């Protein structure tokens, strides 16, 4: 048994995290109090933590991208990708139908692929079809990978504002 310095409760040793700097190699506060303190800190410093996360992302982006590509080549990576794709197809059947219709229409020549529609240029990646409304599967706008991600984020914000 050990006393938590925060809530003052006497708890079992399994309720405390590891801390190699203390005598008994356990934290001074219990796991539950630690979670509460973390939540409190993050809610007060949300913008700072968001910036730290973005900073870490951009500093390690190239290395993480390389690791992801290597992982995708492994059997575990391929299995993970297949599970995620299947889950997405089941969760969003209208997206899957729209994508199939666009692919089929491109092959048959009903629609043509154009350059990125984003006005500023500065494009990166292959050109992809973007659906503003999946109920109109052949009504697409063409964006490069970079601007397609941006358009998706804009669409999510619009949907949130409209309560969808």
Q: How confident is the model at residue 162, as a pLDDT?
A: 84
Question: Can you tell me the mean pLDDT for 108-130?
Answer: 87
Measured distance CA(14)–CA(30) in Å, rounded: 9
Please identify which residue in the block is written with the tokens 């490069």: 144
Measured distance CA(126)–CA(145) in Å, rounded: 6
Please identify which residue in the block is written with the tokens 């941006």: 150
Question: Can you tell me the mean pLDDT for 104-132?
Answer: 89
Asked if residue 120 has pLDDT above 80, the reply is no
Put simply, whether the predicted model's pTM sits higher than 0.75 gets the answer no
Band (pLDDT 50/70/90 cuts) for residue 164 is: low
Backbone angles phi, psi at 26, to 5 degrees: -125, 155
Asked if residue 103 has pLDDT above 90, the reply is yes
Domain ranges of the chain: 2-43, 50-91, 93-164
Measured distance CA(113)–CA(105) in Å, rounded: 10
Is 33 or 159 the better-scoring residue by pLDDT? 33
Measured distance CA(98)–CA(141) in Å, rounded: 13
Give tens-digit pLDDT for 60-70.
989 999 999 99
């Amino acid at each position: 048994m050990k006393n938590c310095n925060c809530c003052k409760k006497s708890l079992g040793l399994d309720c405390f995290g590891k801390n190699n700097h203390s005598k008994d190699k356990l934290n001074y506060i219990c796991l539950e109090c630690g979670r509460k303190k973390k939540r409190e800190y993050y809610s007060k410093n949300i913008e700072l933590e968001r910036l730290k996360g973005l900073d870490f992302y951009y500093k390690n982006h190239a290395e993480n991208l390389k690791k992801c590509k290597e992982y995708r080549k492994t059997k575990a990576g391929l299995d993970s990708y297949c599970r995620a794709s299947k889950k997405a197809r089941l969760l969003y059947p209208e997206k899957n139908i729209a994508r199939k219709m666009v692919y089929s229409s491109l092959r048959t020549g009903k629609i043509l692929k154009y350059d990125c529609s984003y006005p500023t240029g500065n494009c990166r990646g292959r050109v992809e079809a973007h659906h503003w409304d999946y109920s109109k599967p052949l009504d697409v706008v063409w964006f490069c990978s970079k601007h397609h991600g941006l358009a998706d984020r804009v669409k999510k914000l619009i949907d949130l504002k409209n309560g969808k």
